[in-house]
């Protein structure tokens, strides 16, 4: 539930369920049941009866990832229970951190109405866990009553973070001793993304305390028989319609066993089709080598981007999904976050956060309506550098992006940069070489060594990032094929030539000349050339690049790092220009 080590924000979720608690003898002590979040399915030292099968009787419990919402139908004074019909928040202890009597608010007059949870009646419960605010809201009402506007219990305390872990089991627990008490969960809905699906409470069975009389009236017997027949008919009809729907869609949206290994959230095809207005052209954001991208609006009004990816075989799709599942675990503020997936046949749809301001290249090239300013360009480059540094050094595996370019850098609502499009990305263990046999990427951004060895590494990513730095600072594309002078066709060669001539500042984008200082723009151009060094071993790492871009003072960048480009003769882009091999003056 804790997304990353770089964030203190907890994940959020909502759940709703219908439960029934019915004692065999109305006067016997009760226990109830609880909704549980635990990092173990068998908590150590767990006891039965009033301990719900998950807590110990320790007087001083330790901090551990175990959190429960109890629906207690018995009073235990030693646990500070207020009564025998209450709700409580339990933090790895049977003694609740906060309790409230079971009741719900009347929407007509605003008063609370008592709710007895121990009569066998069906109780509708809602739990909303707000991780960002460390808040839990619990609401109960009889089945048939809409969710009340005010919760029955509200608990808010940052200490909640101490009782959750990155991975938690979720479910229910209850126990009993010599007193028999039937605890039933009749329906359940859970969501940690998007809108919680409503529970259909019609047709649920109802349970009542047995009468002390040894015989039933004829009317009661007739009612039971009619109810059972009606229930069987409803269940049979429901099963038939579900079978028909599944049979129609089986060939298109069949769930393979291996798919259950991946991802906690799978969107249905119909859900994404509705969200994209039938994958209409009006919702089309763009198209790339791996498929088309659509804008989608989920039922809760959340905007996302849906990328459609085609695969030739289910085996290839399975391997690709294994890689995508690993990518889903990458979480950083400067990466476009993946939210889920959907599969229909051999077509895989990936759901990402929607970036309202599009890609970086739209704000620099092709006469944009609003040109991106100098300071904002520096912020975006620093953002992307931090995201790429996380891929290379911040995870247990090295992630080589392999297709870094300005069109794959997206801008969020605050105009901050995020690195996107992991369609070509590959993972490998630190210190190992990735297994690949073909060159992938975009012309103009490819490191020169990929023409011979075809083995992308973190260093080749650094080269591509250097190209992005140069095109953002210069306001020019890596390959300007429309230019008449051949020596100016390749951006890297042109900037390196100006550097050798001692005219490096002339390479900067003249449209923002009034916004930058000369030393600052020189530092950025030198950084771009250093990243594009022809020798991969002499390029800086992304850790070093981040140190330059987010340091206290721009001018404090390591001179030793940037001086590497002075001896980086040769065309980093492979253009073969002779004068680009001249030795540049010292930095």
- CATH code, domain with 276: 3.30.200.20
Q: What is the pLDDT of residue 350?
A: 83
State the DSSP code for 314: H
Structure tokens at 395: 């995870």
Structural domain contains residue 200: no
Q: What is the pLDDT of residue 559?
A: 55
Rg (CA), the chain: 31
3-class secondary structure for 523-543?
HHHHHHHHHCCCCHHHCCCHH
Least confident of 135-139, 142-146, 190-194: 190-194
The annotation places the binding site for ATP at 307
What angle, rounded to 10 degrees, do the helices at 518-531 and 458-474 form?
150
Please spell the DSSP secondary structure of 355-397, one letter per residue. Answer: -TT-BGGGGTSS--SSPPPHHHHHHHHHHHHHHHHHHHHSSSE
Q: Is the pLDDT of residue 236 over 90?
A: no
Structural domain contains residue 219: no
Q: What is the pLDDT of residue 371?
A: 92
Are 348 and 364 within one domain? no
Are 377 and 453 within one domain? yes
Q: What is the pLDDT of residue 556?
A: 44
Bigger pLDDT: 265 vs 545: 545
Q: What is the pLDDT of residue 587?
A: 33
Residues present in the chain in total? 587
Q: What is the pLDDT of residue 327?
A: 67
Q: What is the pLDDT of residue 128?
A: 95
User: pLDDT grade, residue 484 (50/70/90)?
Assistant: low
- Domain boundary (337, 353, 369) is at 353
pTM over 0.85? The answer is no
The winner for highest mean pLDDT among 218-222, 342-346, 401-405, 568-572 is 401-405
Q: Work out the average pLDDT over 204-228.
A: 71
Q: Is the pLDDT of residue 163 over 70?
A: yes
Bigger pLDDT: 58 vs 283: 283
Structurally, how many domains does the chain consist of?
Answer: 3
* Cross-strand bridge partners of residue 90: 68
Structural domain contains residue 587: no
Q: Work out the average pLDDT over 307-316.
A: 61
Are 436 and 573 within one domain? yes
User: pLDDT grade, residue 320 (50/70/90)?
Assistant: low
Q: Is the pLDDT of residue 480 over 90?
A: no
Pairing of strands 86-91, 66-72: antiparallel
Q: Is the pLDDT of residue 133 over 60?
A: yes
Q: Is the pLDDT of residue 583 over 50?
A: no
Structural domain contains residue 543: yes
pLDDT digits (tens, 9 = 90+) for 118-130: 888 999 999 999 9
- Contact indicator for 128, 144 with CB cutoff of 8 Å: no
Q: What is the pLDDT of residue 369?
A: 86
Sequence-distant (6+) residues with CB within 8 A of 409 are: 359, 360, 361, 380, 384, 417, 418, 419, 420, 468
Of the chain, the percentage scoring pLDDT greater than 90 comes to 36
Q: What is the pLDDT of residue 209?
A: 67
Bigger pLDDT: 57 vs 535: 535
Residue 512 belongs to domain with CATH number: 1.10.510.10
Structure tokens at 1: 């539930």
pLDDT digits (tens, 9 = 90+) for 388-440: 999 898 877 788 888 899 988 999 989 999 998 765 555 554 455 555 545 56
Structural domain contains residue 405: yes
Rounded Cα distance, 53 and 172, in Å:
10
Q: What is the pLDDT of residue 318?
A: 60
Rounded Cα distance, 70 and 92, in Å:
12
Least confident of 17-26, 162-171, 526-535, 554-563: 554-563
Q: Is the pLDDT of residue 171 over 90?
A: yes
Q: Is 36 helix (H, G, I), strand (E, B) or coil?
A: strand
Are 344 and 469 within one domain? no
Q: What is the pLDDT of residue 110?
A: 83
Are 517 and 459 within one domain? yes
User: pLDDT grade, residue 377 (50/70/90)?
Assistant: very high
Q: Is the pLDDT of residue 567 over 70?
A: no
Are 479 and 394 within one domain? yes
Least confident of 301-310, 311-320, 494-503: 311-320
- Full domain range(s) for residue 187: 13-192
Please spell the DSSP secondary structure of 221-260, one letter per residue. Answer: HHHHHHHHHHHHHHHHHHHHHHHHHHHHHHHHH---GGGG
Q: Work out the average pLDDT over 13-25.
A: 90
* 83 flagged as catalytic: no
Rounded Cα distance, 258 and 262, in Å:
8
Q: Is 494 helix (H, G, I), strand (E, B) or coil?
A: helix
Q: How many CB atoms lie within 10 A of CB 562?
A: 19
Are 134 and 50 within one domain? yes
Q: Is the pLDDT of residue 33 over 60?
A: yes
Q: Work out the average pLDDT over 222-228.
A: 81
Are 304 and 421 within one domain? no
Sequence-distant (6+) residues with CB within 8 A of 573 are: 444, 448, 478, 490, 491, 492, 493
3-class secondary structure for 395-431?
CCEEEECCCCCHHHEEECCCCCEEECCCCCCEEEECC
Q: Work out the average pLDDT over 368-394.
A: 92
- Contact indicator for 125, 17 with CB cutoff of 8 Å: yes
Average pLDDT, the chain: 80
Residue 103 belongs to domain with CATH number: 2.60.120.200
Rounded Cα distance, 324 and 322, in Å:
5
Are 483 and 512 within one domain? yes
* Cross-strand bridge partners of residue 21: 183
Q: What is the pLDDT of residue 315?
A: 47
Rounded Cα distance, 419 and 316, in Å:
25
Are 66 and 136 within one domain? yes
Q: Is the pLDDT of residue 471 over 90?
A: yes
Structural domain contains residue 217: no
- Domain boundary (300, 321, 353) is at 353
Q: Is the pLDDT of residue 191 over 80?
A: yes
Q: Is the pLDDT of residue 337 over 90?
A: no
Q: What is the pLDDT of residue 584?
A: 37
Are 320 and 426 within one domain? no
Q: Is 189 helix (H, G, I), strand (E, B) or coil?
A: strand
Rounded Cα distance, 118 and 31, in Å:
9
Which of the residues 90, 403, 421, 493 is marked catalytic?
A: 403
Structural domain contains residue 336: yes
Q: Work out the average pLDDT over 187-198.
A: 87
Least confident of 73-87, 279-293, 462-476, 531-545: 279-293
User: pLDDT grade, residue 287 (50/70/90)?
Assistant: confident
Q: Is 341 helix (H, G, I), strand (E, B) or coil?
A: strand
Bigger pLDDT: 168 vs 45: 168
- Contact indicator for 520, 554 with CB cutoff of 8 Å: yes
Question: CA neighbours within 13 Å on the CB side: how many for 145?
Answer: 21
Q: Tell which residue, 344, 288, 341, 273, has the closest CA to residue 314.
A: 344
Structural domain contains residue 231: no
Q: What is the pLDDT of residue 214?
A: 46
Q: Is the pLDDT of residue 207 over 70?
A: yes
- Domain boundary (329, 353, 377) is at 353
Q: What is the pLDDT of residue 517?
A: 87
Are 484 and 563 within one domain? yes
Q: Is the pLDDT of residue 89 over 50?
A: yes
C-alpha distance from residue 382 to each of 256, 368, 385, 540, 541 (Å): 42, 22, 5, 15, 14
């Amino acid at each position: 539930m804790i997304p990353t080590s770089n964030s203190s924000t907890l994940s959020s979720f909502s759940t709703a369920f219908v439960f029934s608690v019915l004692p065999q003898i109305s006067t016997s002590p009760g226990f109830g049941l609880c909704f549980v979040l635990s990092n173990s399915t068998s908590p150590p030292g767990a006891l039965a009866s009033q301990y719900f099968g998950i807590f110990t009787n320790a007087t001083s419990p330790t901090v551990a990832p175990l959190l429960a919402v109890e629906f207690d139908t018995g009073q235990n004074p030693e646990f500070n229970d207020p009564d025998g019909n209450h709700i409580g928040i339990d933090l790895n202890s049977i003694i609740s951190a906060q309790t409230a009597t079971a009741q719900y608010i009347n929407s007509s007059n605003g008063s609370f109405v008592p709710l007895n949870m121990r009569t066998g009646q069906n109780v509708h419960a809602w739990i909303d866990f707000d991780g960002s605010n460390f808040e839990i809201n619990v609401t109960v009402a009889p089945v048939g009553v809409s969710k009340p506007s005010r919760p029955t219990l509200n608990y808010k305390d940052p200490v909640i973070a101490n009782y959750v872990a990155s991975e938690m089991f979720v479910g229910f627990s209850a126990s009993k001793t010599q007193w028999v008490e039937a605890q039933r969960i009749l329906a359940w809905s859970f969501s940690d993304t998007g809108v919680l699906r409503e529970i259909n409470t019609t047709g649920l069975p109802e349970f009542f305390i047995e009468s002390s009389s040894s015989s039933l009236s004829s009317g009661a017997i007739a009612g039971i028989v009619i109810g059972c027949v009606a229930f069987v008919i409803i269940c049979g009809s429901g099963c038939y319609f579900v079978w028909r729907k599944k049979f129609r869609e089986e060939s298109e949206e069949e769930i393979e066993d291996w798919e259950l290994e991946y991802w906690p959230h799978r969107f249905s095809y119909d859900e994404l089709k509705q969200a994209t207005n039938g994958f209409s052209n009006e919702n089309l954001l763009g198209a790339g080598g791996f498929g088309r991208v659509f804008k989608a609006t989920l039922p809760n009004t959340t905007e996302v981007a849906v990328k459609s990816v085609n695969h030739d075989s289910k085996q290839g799709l399975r391997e690709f999904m294994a890689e995508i599942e690993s990518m889903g675990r990458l979480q950083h503020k400067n990466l476009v976050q993946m939210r889920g997936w959907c599969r229909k046949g051999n077509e895989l749809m990936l759901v990402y956060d929607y970036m309202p301001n599009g890609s970086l290249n739209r704000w620099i090239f092709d006469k944009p309506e609003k040109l991106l300013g100098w300071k904002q360009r520096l912020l975006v480059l620093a953002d992307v550098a931090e995201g790429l540094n996380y891929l290379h050094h911040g995870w247990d595996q090295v992630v080589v992006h392999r297709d870094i370019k300005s069109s794959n850098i997206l801008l969020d609502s605050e105009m901050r940069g995020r690195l996107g499009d992991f369609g070509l990305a590959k993972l490998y263990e630190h210190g190992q070489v990735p297994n690949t046999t073909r060159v992938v990427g975009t012309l103009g951004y490819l490191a020169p060594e990929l023409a011979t060895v075809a083995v992308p590494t973190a260093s080749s990513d650094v080269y591509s990032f250097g190209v992005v730095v140069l095109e953002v600072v210069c306001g020019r594309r890596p390959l300007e094929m429309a230019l008449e002078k051949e020596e100016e066709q390749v951006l890297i060669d042109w900037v390196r030539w100006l550097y050798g001539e001692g005219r490096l500042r002339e390479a900067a984008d003249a449209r923002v000349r009034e916004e930058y200082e000369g030393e600052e723009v020189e530092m950025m151009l030198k950084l771009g050339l250093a990243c594009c060094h022809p020798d991969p071993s002499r390029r800086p790492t992304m850790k070093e690049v981040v140190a330059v871009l987010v340091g206290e003072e721009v001018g404090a960048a390591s001179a030793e790092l940037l001086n590497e480009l002075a001896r980086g003769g040769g065309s980093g882009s492979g253009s073969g220009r002779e004068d680009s091999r001249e030795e540049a003056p010292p930095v």
